[in-house]
Amino acid sequence: MSKLVNLTIDGRKLQAEEGKTVLAVARDNGIDIPTLCYNEELEPYGACRLCLVEVTKGTRTRLVTSCLYPVEEDLVVKTSTDRVITNRKMLMELLLARCQGVKSIEDMARKLGVDRPSFKPEYWEKDECILCGLCVRACAEVVGTSAISLVNRGVNREVAAPYLETANDCIGCGSCVYICPTKCIKMEDTEDTRTIVNWKASFKMQKCAKCGKNFAPEKQLAYFARKLNLPADTFNVCPDCR
Ligand code: FES
């Protein structure tokens, strides 16, 4: 069993497994910390920085991203000091200025007490992607295909397929679509084709051998049959008929 450490979060004395992050321990104990780029199934990445908290170790107090910071013995964590709240609001203003009209960002901003960015409106944008990297991590860590990645630097940073062309390694599973917090990755299903619009990738759908319904991209089913070492015809019938 892992070693337990004693720490304090918002005045509550807690015990937690060494190596867990401050965010995970806070959530295990019902303490809310806002996040946009965190998913417990994926490696934390520290992109949005909304999960900022103040930690004190010995005589030193500083701001850290709680999704990356591991708990340790005698750590004192405060999740909502004036300094934390001021910094979170500033980050939220930046996101709000970048993503005008994006509902999940507006909702989070309201929750954190930000109505509008304090920057001049000429600096506001209508970008929908917050570069949280959740889509890239889901594709690499859960699906295992790494069809997309974060490319370029600074203001040109974006998520894209190699050479900004069609994502040839995409299998059309839609994991990136489902996990995106701003819903900026578009997937279009027609009768027999699925298209992941952002990655310029289209897929023929598999027709169920029993009911005749198109239920998933052929490429996705072939990929999972191969990955799980199953016979190629394993997914010839849809989940309802299986
Ligand atoms: S949740 Fe920690 S940086 Fe985004």
Q: Is 135 in the pocket of ligand 1 (CB under 6 A)?
A: no
Report how far ligand 1's centroid is from the alpha carbon of 4 (Å): 24
138 and 185 fall within a common domain: yes
Q: Is 201 in the pocket of ligand 1 (CB under 6 A)?
A: no
pLDDT one-digit tens code per residue, 83-126: 999 999 999 999 999 999 999 999 999 999 999 999 888 889 99
Report how far ligand 1's centroid is from the alpha carbon of 95 (Å): 13
Q: Which atom, in ligand 1's list, is nearest to the CA of 65?
A: 2
Q: Is 69 in the pocket of ligand 1 (CB under 6 A)?
A: no
pLDDT at 23 over 80: yes
96 within a domain of the structure (yes/no): yes
Q: Is 67 in the pocket of ligand 1 (CB under 6 A)?
A: yes
pLDDT one-digit tens code per residue, 194-216: 999 999 999 999 999 999 999 99
Band of residue 4 on the pLDDT scale cut at 50, 70, 90: very high
Specify the pLDDT at position 2: 81
Q: What is the DSSP pairing of strand 75-78 with strand 4-9?
A: parallel
Band of residue 234 on the pLDDT scale cut at 50, 70, 90: confident
CATH of the domain at 194: 3.30.70
241 within a domain of the structure (yes/no): no
Report how far ligand 1's centroid is from the alpha carbon of 144 (Å): 22
Last residue of a domain, one of 87, 102, 128: 128
Q: Is 21 in the pocket of ligand 1 (CB under 6 A)?
A: no
123 and 168 fall within a common domain: no
> What does residue 75 show for φ and ψ, rounded to 5 degrees?
-70, 140
Beta bridge partners of 187: 196
Q: What is the DSSP pairing of strand 193-196 with strand 201-207?
A: antiparallel
**Beta-carbon contacts of residue 120 (< 8 Å; ≥ 6 apart):** none
Angle, CA 114 vertex, CA 111 and CA 116 arms, to 5°: 135
30 within a domain of the structure (yes/no): yes
What is the distance between the alpha carbons of residues 119 and 66, in angstroms, rounded to a whole number? 27
Report how far ligand 1's centroid is from the alpha carbon of 11 (Å): 22
* Cα distance between the two ends of the chain: 40
Name the average pLDDT for the chain.
95
pLDDT at 154 over 80: yes
Total domains, the chain: 2
148 and 120 fall within a common domain: no
Band of residue 48 on the pLDDT scale cut at 50, 70, 90: very high
84 and 188 fall within a common domain: no
Q: Is 134 in the pocket of ligand 1 (CB under 6 A)?
A: no
Q: Which atom, in ligand 1's list, is nearest to the CA of 51?
A: 2
Q: Is 35 in the pocket of ligand 1 (CB under 6 A)?
A: yes
Band of residue 173 on the pLDDT scale cut at 50, 70, 90: very high
CATH of the domain at 64: 3.10.20.740
140 and 208 fall within a common domain: yes
What is the span of the domain harbouring residue 85? 1-128
236 within a domain of the structure (yes/no): no
149 and 177 fall within a common domain: yes
pLDDT at 1 over 80: no
Report how far ligand 1's centroid is from the alpha carbon of 201 (Å): 29
Specify the pLDDT at position 119: 87
Specify the pLDDT at position 121: 87
Last residue of a domain, one of 68, 93, 128: 128
148 and 219 fall within a common domain: yes
Q: Which atom, in ligand 1's list, is nearest to the CA of 68?
A: 2
